[in-house]
Structure formats: C-alpha cells, structure tokens
Chains A and B, each alone.
Chain A
Amino acid sequence: MTRVVLVDDHQMFRTGVKAELGPGIEVVGEAGDVDSAIDVIKSAAPDVVLLDVHLPGGGGIEVLRRLHGSVTPKFLALSVSDAAEDVIGVVRGGARGYVTKTISGPELTDAIGRVADDDAVFSPRLAGFVLDAFAATDAPSIDPELDQLTQREREVLRLIARGYAYKEIARELFISVKTVETHVSSVLRKLQLSNRHELSRWAAARRLV
C-alpha cells in the first residue's frame, strides 16, 4: 500500500482525486496550506506527497524548502498552471516529477507508483521545458557533465514530449524500459543540480518571450 498525503488548496479537487485513485493507494492525510501541510507530513510520514505548486503561505516550493534535509517523502508536483517558472522551480526544489491537473485517474495512480519506486515522472510539457532549458548555447558551462544533456537523454526527452510512453520509447530506441527510466532520472538529477547561470534566469526570461 502506498501512503499518500494530498496537499492542495482546493478542497473540491482533493475530494475528486481521492475518489479517482486506484487500489493500492491510501490517502493518509490532507492539507490546504503550507503550515498544515508540514504538520500533516511530519505526523503521517507518507511515502509520496502530492504537492500543489500554488499554495497559500509561500507555495509548494516553501513546503519543499522547509522539509529539506529531514527524512522526507517523495514529492510529485501537481498544478493547474503549466507555466515554466512554476514547473522548473518546484522540480529544482526537490520534486521527482510534475503532472498537470488534467491528468486522468489511472495515469495519476501510475505516476504515484513510479515516484514511490524512486523513478521520475515527466509530463510531455515538462520534457519540453527541460529541452528548452538545456538548449545548446555558446555560454560556457561550469560543469559540463551536469550542464548538458547527452544525446541519448535528448532523444528520450524528445520522445516523451512527442507523447510516447516509456514502453514505446524503449521499443523505438531499442533499449529496455529500465534504461529509459535511468535516463529520465539522470535528467532529473541534472535539472536539480545544475548551476548553469542561465537555468535560473531562464524561467524568468521566458516571461519576456
């Protein structure tokens, strides 16, 4: 049984999600703002936290920041907004994936399962943002290993952006599903750790595009 805490300031949405989650997932707590989220997470000790990006009290990022360091569950970010700055910000804060609220029940159940298994969950939109953020430019990079995607990782991301599921990607590239997951996790790690100076300003700059 995967234990899940729902953090979202729209109660109607929380009720809806509870009803849609499949068997094998147990909702052990709910919260509607940053402070109560911290309390519920600390007391219930779930495996996965479904975290809304826009929350009163500082947003999902604030929850990630305050729980950083202590034994934390895995976070799956969830939002109505698919604005780049929200998505990238919360992933860099420590979330292992990002899905939009238009996701269906079965897909959400699947995503929670993957996050609980320590895999990353990438929606096509997040894949698009990451490709944009790591676009090859002339700027010198501090740590080439962290600041650039490998060719394979780019291919995997591109296929995710095109709407392929992991199985289909594996078939397309003639690799195993496990390899696909490894590539995706590696991309997530780079996204979280890269100090490429453009990356942090990239989200803000997008507003001007």
Chain B
Amino acid sequence: MTESTIVEETPRLDRRADGRLVAGVCRGIADHLGLEVVIVRLAFSLLIIAGGVGCAAYIALWVLVPRRDEPAQRDWTQFAAYGALILGLSFLTWASGLAKAALWPLVVGGLGVAVLWQQADRNQRQRWLRTTTVPLRRMWLRSLLGAFLVIGGIGGFVAQRVNAAEAREVLIATAVILSGVAVIATPWLMRLWQDLDVERRERIRSQERAELAAHVHDSVLHTLTLIQRSAHDSREVQRLARSQERELRSWLYAPRADPDQTLAAAVQKIVGEVEDDHGVPIEVVCVGDCPLTATLGAMLQAAREAMVNAAKYAEAPSVSVYAEVSGDDVAIYVRDRGKGFDLDSIPEDRMGVRGSIIGRMERNGGTATVRTAPGEGTEVRLELKRR
C-alpha cells in the first residue's frame, strides 16, 4: 500500500475523454461517486427510454460539466451495445403499450438496489478498511442516493395503485413494519459489527506478531551465519549462540516485562548485557518482583559490578545470579565457583569491591557481604529493605 492510496480524495465532477462513449458524462459521474461506470450508463439509458428525461439530463451535463483532458478514441462497441439497448427497449415499451408509469418506478428501484449493492461490494470494503481517512462523504452520498432511488421506486409503484387517502395508510403501515424489522435486526447487526471489530483487531495483532517473528527469524539466520564464519573461535561462537538463545527464548516464553519498571526484568537485562560483553554464561533465577526505585537502581549497579568482577576475574565456567523479593526485603546473590580472592589483601585506596559494591550498598541503606577465599569461589550478597 503506497502512501498515495491512503488518503483518497473525491475527484471533482468533470468529463474525461478516455473511456468515454459519447461525451464522457457517465464516466465523470461514475468517478465522482465511486460507482461502476456500467451502472451510470444503464441509468442514463433507461432514463432515455422512459420519457426522454435522460436525453435532457445528459445534454445538460454535457454542456455544464467541464472537460478534463484531450479527446481520445471512443469505444465504439460499447456505444453500439448501449444504443441497441436503448432502441430495443424503446421499441418494446412502445409496441407492448406498457405504461411508462409502471416501468419507471421499477427502473428507479432497480438502480437504487444496484447502487446500494455496490456499497456492499467486498473490494470496496477492503479499500475502506485499509485507508486511514475513510471517505465518509462519498460513502454517505452513495448510500443516500441508493436509498433515495429505492424509496422513490417503491413510492412510485405504490402511488399508482392507491389513491391519496389510502396512500397515507400504506405509508404508516410501511413505517411500522420497517420499525419492527429494525428492532428485530438491530441486535443481530450489532453483534455482527462487534465480531467484525474483534476480528479486525485480531488480524492486526497477528500481523504485528508475524512481523516480530520475521525479525526474530532474521536474527537467528544472521547468528547462524556468523557462527559458521567464526567456527574457529570457540569463545566467540559460544557468545553468539548464548546471546541469540536469550533473545529467542525471551521472544518465545517471556511475558512483556519492562526492564525500566520492575526489578526482575531489570536484573535479566543486566545479566544479558554482562553476558554479551564478557562472554561468560550467567544463570539467573528471579523469585518475586517489585517496582523499581532509586535505591534499587543503586543496588542493581552494585550487582552489575559484582557480575562483571565474576566474569572478568574469577575464571569460572559460569556465574549464578539469584534475585529475591519477599515482602520488603530484596536480596541479590552473585556466585561463582572460580578461583576466589583474598578479601583482606585488596588495598584500601583502590575502588572496586570496597567502593562500588560495599560502599554503594551502605550509602543506600543496605548491606553487602562478600564471601570468598582463594580456590573457593566467591559469593556476593546484596541486601536491602525497600522501605
């Protein structure tokens, strides 16, 4: 769908030279109202037969409506067809003596039906559903025209058969019947309309999902290609595979958790980033959840430091992160089975464990405990009370 078809404007009423039979009047009207040109031509043909009104109308429009472009070739076969139709039906009505009055209402009614039917044409509806600015004016114009024609036809037909007094009775009876039909049909119509709405939304939603799926598939293909290319570098392969696994897994199984709003999602996000940056697999388990606050943000920073330390210095095959929220207590544990270190041997003036982890937690009202020994792995425990 290109942009230009999204916003549809009503073409002005003018006569077009291409596709015209005589003077392009029917074509122009068809474009303006959005009807099929055949219907308009049939209308004029029948109006010509029924008392020559069509002739007058046609000539009037020919004179008054401006022409849009240069004359082109006429389609003589169509012209011949319509001409034959006009002559044939005229002869028929004249020969059989059919009262023009009887034919007229039926013709008008039939035209109205054709116009209204086109309203319901599936292609038309598809177009309307796709555009963002529904051409309401045209739709109402067409509906009114169709309804007017049908009512005119019915009215004319009825008017011939009854006199004025009875006509009123007939009209009242008709109105009552129509109201009854409306009352009966309305709930069913409403339900149809709602079903249509629901289906449309489902369709949009599944379209979005399909787009997202396509993106994920592309990612996976991309990763597999990169893996083949880096097959010699096993660390790189592991990093690529792990990162893609996380992305695919979160698309398949994870709910729409917002990493800026809740703790569990934020922890997962940090774990993903540290994994990608340092190439060490990190297992994460989250129990419970709570909204993020500024102090929790500081705690997450401390946790990130701990993870990065574990990934960079521990020389461990993997790192375990456990985040738990129970009531007001929030705890994050970062553990590895690496080579550990001697806590006392870190000089006071260096940042790192002291400053960014322990110090940060204490500044925010929490505690940080580091349990480690050379050869025994490391566990950093961060605890905070939410209130």
Q: How far is the CA of A81 from the CA of B289 in the complex (A)?
A: 21
Which residues of B are found within 8 Å of A161, using beta-carbon distances?
A: 285, 287, 322, 324
The residues of B that contact A96 with a CB separation of less than 8 Å are: none
Most buried by A among B285, B286, B287, B335: B285
**Cβ of B188 under 8 Å from chain A:** no
* Contact indicator A162/B255 (Cβ below 8 Å): no
Report whether A132 and B322 are in contact in the complex, using a CB–CB cutoff of 8 Å: no
Q: Verify A128–B326 contact, CB threshold 8 A.
A: no
A114 part of interface (Cβ distance < 8 Å): no
Query: How many residue pairs bridge A and B at CB < 8 Å?
Result: 48
- Considering only residues 116-144 of chain A, those with a C-beta below 8 Å from chain B are 124-125, 127-128, 131-132, 135-136
Contact B322 A206 (CB under 8 A): no
Asked if A163 is at the interface of the complex by the 8 Å CB criterion, the answer is yes
* B333 is an interface residue with CB less than 8 A from chain A: yes
Question: When each residue 314-331 of chain B gets 1 if its CB lies under 8 Å from chain A and 0 otherwise, what string results?
Answer: 000000101010100000
Interface SS of A by simple majority: loop
Whether, in the assembled complex, B140 has its beta carbon less than 8 Å from a beta carbon of chain A, the answer is no
Whether A62 sits at the interface, judged by CB under 8 Å, is no
How big is the B interface, by class? Answer: 10 to 19
**Quick check: is B252 within 8 A (CB to CB) of the other chain?**
yes
By the criterion CB–CB under 8 Å, are A131 and B255 in contact?
Answer: no
Neighbour of B326 across the interface among A135, A163, A206, CB < 8 A: A135
Out of B249, B320, B326, name the residue touching A162 (CB < 8 Å). Answer: B320
Which B-chain residue is minimally distant from A135 (CB atoms)? Answer: B288
A12 to chain B, nearest CB (A): 14
Q: Chain A 75-105 against B: per-residue CB contact (8 Å), 1 yes, 0 no?
A: 0000001110000000000000000000000
Q: Does B257 contact A (CB under 8 A)?
A: yes
**Min C-beta distance of B58 to chain A, whole Å:** 65
Residues of A within 8 A of B335 (CB): 162-164
> With a CB–CB cut-off of 8 A, which chain A residues contact B18?
none
* CA distance in complex: A124, B320 (Å): 9
CA distance in complex: A207, B285 (Å):
17
Q: Is the Cβ of A163 less than 8 Å from the Cβ of B283?
A: yes
Name which of A82, A131, A207 has the most chain B CB atoms within 10 A of its CB: A131
From B248, which residue of chain A is reached at the shortest CB distance?
A: A80
User: A132-B288, A135-B288, A209-B289 are contacts. A158–B324 as well, Cβ < 8 Å?
Assistant: yes
Min CB–CB distance B333 → chain A (angstroms): 5
Does A71 reach chain B (CB closer than 8 Å)?
A: no
**Do residues A163 and B255 form an inter-chain contact, with CB atoms below 8 A?**
no
Count of interface residues, chain A, beta-carbon cutoff 8 Å? 20
Known: A82-B253, A208-B255. A132 touches B320 (CB 8 A): no
Q: How far is the CB of A78 from chain B (nearest CB, A)?
A: 16
Once the chains bind, are B322 and A124 in contact (CB under 8 Å)? Answer: yes
> What A residues does B255 contact at CB under 8 A?
206-209
Given contacts A124-B320, A158-B324, A161-B322, contact A81 B285 (CB under 8 A): no
- One digit per residue, 1 when the CB lies within 8 angstroms of any chain A CB and 0 when it does not, for chain B 201-232 equals 00000000000000000000000000000000
Contact of B285 among A83, A124, A206, A209 (CB under 8 A): A124
Encoded as 1 (CB less than 8 Å from any A CB) or 0, chain B from 222 to 253 comes to 00000000000000000000000000010011
Cα–Cα distance between A81 and B333 once the two chains are bound (Å):
24
Q: Is the CB of A162 within 8 A of B322?
A: yes
Q: Which residues of B contact A207 (CB under 8 A)?
A: 255
**Cβ-closest chain A residue relative to B319:** A163
A208 CA / B289 CA spacing, docked (Å): 13
A127 to B333, CA, bound (A): 15
Whether A83 contacts B253 by the Cβ 8 Å rule is yes
Nearest CB in chain B to that of A81: its residue: B253
Contacts of B288 in A (CB 8 A): 132, 135
> When chains A and B are docked, how far (Å) is the Cα of A83 from the Cα of B249?
9
With a cutoff of 8 Å between Cβ atoms, the chain A residues found around residue B287 in the complex are 128, 131-132, 135, 161
Task: Determine the chain B residues whose CB is within 8 A of the CB of A131 once the complex forms.
Answer: 287, 324
The minimal Cβ–Cβ distance linking A50 to chain B, given in whole angstroms, is: 21
Residues of B close to A164: CB separation below 8 A: 335
CB-CB under 8 A from A162, the residues of chain B are: 285, 320, 322, 333, 335, 379
Nearest 4 CB-CB pairs, A to B?
A163-B320, A128-B285, A83-B253, A162-B322
- Given A164-B335, A206-B255, A209-B257; 8 other pairs, CB 8 A cutoff: A124-B320, A128-B286, A131-B287, A132-B288, A135-B288, A135-B326, A208-B255, A209-B255
- Provide a sorted-by-A list of 22 A–B residue pairs whose CB atoms are within 8 angstroms: A82-B249, A124-B283, A125-B285, A128-B285, A128-B286, A128-B287, A128-B322, A131-B287, A132-B288, A135-B287, A135-B288, A135-B326, A158-B322, A161-B322, A162-B285, A162-B320, A162-B322, A162-B335, A163-B335, A206-B255, A209-B255, A209-B257
